[in-house]
Structure 1
Amino acid sequence: MDVPLWLALIVIGGLGIKLIRPPWWLVAVILLGGFLLADSVLAPLIDSTINR
């Protein structure tokens, strides 16, 4: 069964928020930080570190 990545991320994120109950500002900071890092000069460094 092939599950799209966006669907898996929504389900895992929803479960994490429901079970761990982090503050909403922390969720927003993590999402915004990830979005900004993905489009920064650090993106190739992060990508090479993850894909080892």
Structure 2
Amino acid sequence: MTVSLPLVFVLGFFVWGSIKFLGVRPWIVILIALFGFWLSHTFFAPAIESGTRTGVTLINGSHA
């Protein structure tokens, strides 16, 4: 059985769990999200995208 969930839903679940069970402050979550958006507009973005794609390929076991 294959279940398809949007990435935003999965990340939201982890954020909710981190705030509720690990005691992470909501302002830290917001700060990390804003830093991620800022980082995506720098010269690091291609390296991050490449690394993410490689990681997904390794986890899925598919070969491009």
Compute the TM-score of the two structures, normalised by the length of structure 1. Answer: 0.72
**Counterpart for residue 14 of structure 2:** 12
Identity of aligned residues (%): 31
Structure 2 unaligned blocks of 5 or more: 55-64
**Counterpart for residue 21 of structure 1:** 23
Question: Matched residue pairs, number?
Answer: 52
Higher helix proportion = 1
**Counterpart for residue 32 of structure 1:** 34
Query: Could you tell me whether the CA contact under 8 Å between 2:39 and 2:45 is conserved in 1?
Result: yes
Q: For residues 3-48 of structure 1, give each alpha carbon's deviation from its aligned partner in whole angstroms, at most 9, with x where no partner exists.
A: 1111111111111111111223322221110111012221112223
Runs of 4+ in 1 over 4 A off after TM superposition: none
Of structures 1 and 2, the larger Rg is shown by 2
C-alpha distance in structure 2 between counterparts of 1:3 and 1:24, whole Å: 24
RMSD: 1.6
Structure 1 unaligned blocks of 5 or more: none
Compute the TM-score of the two structures, normalised by the length of structure 2. Answer: 0.63
